[in-house]
Structure 1
Amino acid sequence: MSDLHILFLPSWYSYSRFPMQGIFFKEQALALQRAGLKVGFIYPEIWGVRTLLTSTGIDDPPRFQTSISEYDGLVEVRLKGMALGPTWPWVTTWSARRLLEEYSRRFGRPDLIHAHVAVWAGVAASYLPLPYVLTEHWTGYREGLLGLWQKPLVRRAFRKAQARLAVSSALARDIEPYTNGLPVEIVPNVVDTEFFVPPPSRPNPPPFRLFTAAILNQRKGIDLLLRALAHLIRNGQDVVLDIGGEGPEREALVLLARDLGIADRVNFLGLLSREGVRKAMQEAHLFVLPSSYETFGVAYIEAMACGLPVIATRCGGPEGFVTPDVGYLVPQSDENALATTIHDVFVNYHRFDGNEIRCYVVRRFGSDAVAKKLITIYERVVSRRAMGC
C-alpha cells in the first residue's frame, strides 16, 4: 500500500460531447486509486480559435475559469481556455500552473505529476515546480506532425522528466529523436477487466459476427475491412459486421458498403457508450481493426478481455501483444490477406479459448499489473528526489 499523492495532467480528456475521450487516463488513475494512492486531475481544456468560430463541440465559451468536479473519488480541476497555434504551449503552461495552485490549495500538494503526452501537457509540466513522469501516447511522431518550432519544446519535456514512458515499444522507437538518449520504459494502458468481461454465453455462428470500434478516419482502415467482407460474402461466407464509432469517413464508408453490395451485412452503430462497446463485443465472435498505425490499441485489449480473438495489422502497438494464441497480425493494406485471415478464424474458431484470451489480458494489462509498474516508477522518482538526485 502506497501513500503517494499523484496529480495527472493529460493533454486531452473527456468533456460533455465526448465523454469517452481519454478514458484510458481515467482508468489508469482509478487503478492507482484502488492500489491505495491519492490521485487527482488538472486539465487545461484549451480550444483552438477555428473550433470556436465553427462552434464544433463547444457547449459554453471558454472564459479561463476553473471548475471542480469529482468522479469515483477522483477530483478533477479544469480550466477552459483558447489559444492560437504558436501560443498553445504557453497558454497550456499558464493554465496548468494556475490549476496546480488551485488544486494544491484545496487538496494538498502532490508528490509528483504524471503528464500524458508531451504536446502540450509534458511541456507544461516541465515548467511546474514539481517532479514529473511523462507518458507518451501520441501518433503524431510517426506521422511527422511536429513543426520545427515545436521540436525543441518536446525535447525539453522529455529531458526534464524524471522518467519517460511509452505505451508500446513501437512508440518508444518513434520518440527516440526527442529523448536525448535517455531511457524510455514501456508501461501499457490499463484495461478495466472488471467491466470488460465475456458474456455468459455467445451465440454459435453462423452468422459469424465481426465487430470493430474506431474513429472513422482513413488511418483505421475500415474501407479495407469492408472490401475484405465483400470478398468473403461473394465466396459464400455468412458474415456480418458491426461498426462502432463516428468520424469524417462515415458517409464515404456507408456509400462504399452500398457500392460493394454488402449494405445489408453492415451495421453502422454510431458513437457507442462504454456499455454499448462492451455489449457489441459480447455479441461478436471476432474483433477486427486493420489500422495503418496504432501507438497501443486499447480497443483490441478490451475485446480480448471480453474473450474475443482479434485481427490487427502490423502497425506498431498490436505487434507487442497479438500472439497466435489470441489472434492474428496481417500486413497493412492487404485486403486479400485480411479476408483470408478472417476466414481462417471462422474455420478454426474452436481453437481460440475465450477464458485463456481474457486471462492473458488480466496478467498483462489489468489494473493490478499496470498499477504495480507505475507505483514502482513513482517511488523510485520520489526517492531519488528526496536524496537530491
Structure 2
Amino acid sequence: MKSVLHISNDYSGSTVYKNLVQELDELGIKQIVYHPLRDLNRVGVNSVELTDSNSEIIYSPILNWHVDRVFYPYKIYKIYKDIQKRVDFSKIDLIHAHTWYSDGGVAYFLSKKYNIPFVCAIRSTDLNVFHEKLFYLRPFGIKIIKAAKSLFLISESYKNKLLKEPSLKRVKATLNRKLNVIPNGVDRYWLEDIKKINNRSGEIKYENRIDLIYVGTFIPRKNLLLIQQAVIAINKEFSTLSVHLNIVGGGGKHEEQVFELVKQFPCYFTYHGKVYDKDVLRGLYRKCSFFVMPSSRETFGLVYVEAMTQGLPILYTQGEGIDGFYSDNIGEKISIPTVDEIKSKIIKMIENKNNYSIPLNLIEKNHNWAEIAKKYIDIYRD
C-alpha cells in the first residue's frame, strides 16, 4: 500500500481523527490528511508527528463562513480543485472520506478522475442534516453510497436508522453489503487502569445525596436544561431524596439558561467549568453515581464510554448513540427526552442502583484505538 488519503472537514474539531491517524501511523500506514477549514486559528490543531517522511497533515484554510456553509456544490468544487493542487494522486492507493456528504462528495469525484477506490464514514450530521433536510442532495448521496467500496458507522443505532430510512430503500442491499460498524476509541488514559476499576454499581449507596454528572456542551440536542428541570422536580417532590447534578462543559445556545438555574439552585447544581485535566475529570466521575446525557441525534458519544470506564451506569436515549452496542444493563434509556421521563428514569436508576453491570473488559476491547486501527487496515487492504 502506497498511501491513504484522509479527507476530513472536521479534523481539528475532534481528537477522534487524530487518534485514528496516530494509531495507523504506528502500524506503518503512510497517510496524507487533508483538512479544509474556515478558521485560521485551527491550523495545527490535533497535529500529529507522523513517523513516515512521506506522510503529512495538510491544513487548507480555503473555506468561508458564508457561501460555503449554504451552497454545497460550490463547497465541494472548491475543495476538489484545491486538494489536487496539494496532493500527488499518483502516490495514493485509497481515499478515506470521514463524512458521507462533505468529504464523500469530494472523494466521489476524485475516485472517478483518478480511478482510486474510496471508503466513507456516515455520521449523525450526514443523516440528520444533509440527507434529511437537504432532500435535493439525496440522489447524489445515493451515488456516493453506490461508488464507495466500504461504508463505516460508529454505532449500531445508526445502522438501524439507515436501513429503515425510506429514501434509501432501493440501496438497502448495497448498504447491508458495505456497512461496517466500528466504534470510536477513547483516549488511552481511560483504558490504562480499567482493570483496576471494580464494577461500582454494587457500591452505590444512599448517603446525604446522590450525585449525577453531565459532561458536554450546552446545545439544545444534549437536553441539559431538561435534566436540570428533572433534578429540581425530584428534589422538590421527594423530601427524603437529595439529588445533585455536577455539570462539566460549556458553550452552546442554552449556556445562559443553564447558568441561571445553577445560580438559582446552588444546592442542586455544581458547575465545574470546562475540565481539560483528565485526572480532575476522572475524580469527578468517581465521586458520582450515574452519568446522565439523554441526547437527541447522538452519533455515538465518547463521554458515555469515559463514564463507563469509571464504572458509572448511564442515562441515554433509545435509538441514539451507544444504544444497541451493549446490553440494556449498562443503565437506563429514554424514548423521548421530556422532563417527566428523565425524572422517572433517574428515580428508577437510584432504586435499581445495585442491578447494573458495566462490561469493563468488553469496553476495553471495543474502544482501544490500536485494535480499531487494525480493523480499518483490514478493510483498507480488502
Normalising to structure 1: TM-score of the pair? 0.77
Is 1:68–1:77's contact at 8 Å kept on the other side of the alignment? no
Given the alignment, which residue of 357, 360, 363 partners 2:362? 360
| Alpha-carbon distance in structure 2 between the residues aligned to 1:322 and 1:232 | 28
Unaligned segments of structure 1, at least 5 residues = 15-20, 48-56, 381-389
| Cα distance in 2, alignment partners of residues 360 and 67 from structure 1 | 31
- In 2, the alpha carbon distance for the partners of 1:23 and 1:123 equals 23
Asked whether the 8 Å contact 1:68–1:78 carries over to 2, the reply is no
Shift of the alpha carbon at 1:4? 6.7
Query: Distance in 2 between the 1:154 and 1:228 partners?
Result: 40
Q: TM-score, normalised by structure 2?
A: 0.79
**Corresponding position of 2:258:** 253
Task: Provide the secondary structure at the position in 1 that maps to 2:184.
Answer: coil
Partners of 1:116 and 1:136 within 8 A in 2: yes
Q: How does 1:192-203 map to 2 (within 5 A)?
A: 192=186, 194-197=188-191
Per-residue deviation, 1:374: 1.8
Q: Does the CA contact (< 8 Å) of 1:239 and 1:265 recur in 2?
A: yes
Q: Is contact 1:213-1:299 (8 Å) kept?
A: yes
State the match for 1:265 in structure 2.
268
Match of 2:8 among 3, 10, 17: 10
Identify if the C-alpha distance between structure 1 residues 316 and 186 changes in structure 2 by more than 3 Å, giving closer, same or farther.
farther
- Partner deviation per Cα, 1:64-90 (whole Å, 9 max, x = no partner): xx9995346573111001241321111
Q: Percent identity?
A: 20
User: Contact 2:118–2:148 at 8 Å: present in 1 too?
Assistant: yes
Worse-superposed segment, 191-200 or 264-273: 191-200
With 243-252 and 324-333 compared, the bigger mean Cα shift is at: 324-333
Name the one with the larger helix percent.
2
CA drift at 1:370: 2.3
Which structure shows the higher strand fraction? 1
Aligned residue pair count: 349
Relative distance call for 1:161 and 1:279 in structure 2 (3 A) is farther
Aligned to 1:121: 103
Tell me, yes or no, if structure 1 residue 190 matches structure 2 residue 202. Answer: no
Instruction: Let me know the Cα RMSD of the aligned residues.
Output: 3.2
Deviates more, 1:167-176 or 1:196-205: 196-205
* Amino acid of the structure 2 residue aligned with 1:318: I
In the alignment, the residues of structure 1 paired with residue 302 and residue 346 of structure 2 have an alpha-carbon distance, to the nearest angstrom, of 20
CA distance in 1, matches of 2:227, 2:159: 28
Q: Provide the rounded CA distance (Å) in 1 between the counterparts of 2:224 and 2:274.
A: 15
CA distance in 1, matches of 2:35, 2:350: 45
- Correspondence for 1:288: 292
Pairing of 1:83-162 with structure 2 (within 5 A): 83=64, 84=67, 85-86=70-71, 87-101=74-88, 109-128=91-110, 129=114, 130-143=116-129, 146-162=133-149
Question: Distance between the aligned counterparts of 1:12 and 1:316, measured in 2?
Answer: 21
Paired with 2:146 and 2:219, the residues of 1 have a C-alpha distance of: 33
**Is the partner of 1:339 in helix, strand or coil?**
helix
- Asked if structure 2 preserves the Cα contact closer than 8 Å seen for 1:11 and 1:121, the reply is yes
Q: How many angstroms apart in 1 are the aligned matches of 2:185 and 2:171? A: 31
